[in-house]
Structures are given as structure tokens and as C-alpha cells.
A = this chain, B = another copy of it.
Amino acid sequence: MPRKIQIAVIGDSQPSAEVAGWAEEVGRLIARHDAVVVCGGLGGVMAAAARGAAQNKGTSIGILPTYEATSAAPDISIVIPSGLGHARNMLVVASGDAVIALPGATGTLSEIALALTLGKTVTAIRAWSHIQGVSVVQTPQEAVQQALHAAHKKVSDGRN
């Protein structure tokens, strides 16, 4: 059985209701396509993406900044309590075969920049158009489609 595609979902820990809705839909769509959500494991966009994945019986990985497994959002399936602080941001994007970025602040920006440094495809929903190398789309559907396409291409090319 081949390994499932993993999509990193990043964004604000305190998003607007609209952005949280996008994140939940992103999680639902990733799970519907039998892929795995990877995120930072805490609140906001992270919790919403995990919730969406759970609604479709999908799997979500939460890479936490602390050693506190109990700090994970309720719907996270698997916790990595890294204890690495903000350096865990690196692991979130390194663990995605592609990355979907929602609106966010400097933590999200650091993840985008690290993802681009690693050569990952980064698709953003209505945000981050000022960052060179980010592909901006308008809907969760487009973002998941683009991310899955990039991830499948990467895996079939044998890239990391």
C-alpha cells in the first residue's frame, strides 16, 4: 500500500470566521481525496483543518511546539509534541508534499518562506500575493486541487 499524500495546512491561530470556514473545507477536501492533513496542531486554522478532516474520517497530524500532547486541538489524530518552539514550523512544511496557506501573520509567513526554501509548491487562498513564488487562488476547492496535483506530480517524480 503506497504512502498517502500529505498536505500541510498553515494559517492564523485566530482567524476570522470566514477563514476558519475555508480551513475546515480544505481539511474536508483533503480527507475526501484520501490525503492526510499536516498542521501545527493548535487552534484557529490548524484546529479547523483537523476538524474538516475528521468530518470525512480523514487523518490529521499535529506537530506541536511544546511537549504537551494535551494541548492538541480535539480532532488531531496523531500528535508530534516536538518541544521545538517555533522551529516546529520547519517540520510542518517539511512534512507536506505540498502546502496550502491561508491568511495569517508572521508565523505563517515563516512557514511559507521555509516551504519555498525546500522547493515545495505553496498555494494560498486569497492572501500572500506579495510573496514571490506563492500561487494565489480564490477558493478551498482550487487550493486543494492545485496542492494535490503538485503533490502527486512530486511523488510520481520520486522527489522528496
Give 1 or 0 for each of A102-140: 1 = CB within 8 Å of chain B CB: 000111011011101110000000000011010000000
A interface residues, tally (CB under 8 Å)? 50
B87 touches A90 (CB 8 A): yes
B117 touches A110 (CB 8 A): yes
Tell which of A18-26, A66-74, A142-150 binds the partner: A66-74
What is the copy number of this chain in the assembly? Answer: 4
B85 touches A84 (CB 8 A): yes
A90 touches B80 (CB 8 A): no
A79 touches B133 (CB 8 A): no
The CA-CA distance from A45 to B67 in the complex, in Å, is 25
The CA-CA distance from A86 to B86 in the complex, in Å, is 12
Distance in Å: Cβ of A103 to nearest Cβ of chain B: 13
Given A90-B87, A90-B90: A114 and B110 interface contact (C-beta under 8 Å): yes
The CA-CA distance from A21 to B126 in the complex, in Å, is 39
B86 touches A114 (CB 8 A): yes
Given A4-B77, A80-B63, A91-B80: A113 and B117 interface contact (C-beta under 8 Å): no
A84 touches B84 (CB 8 A): yes
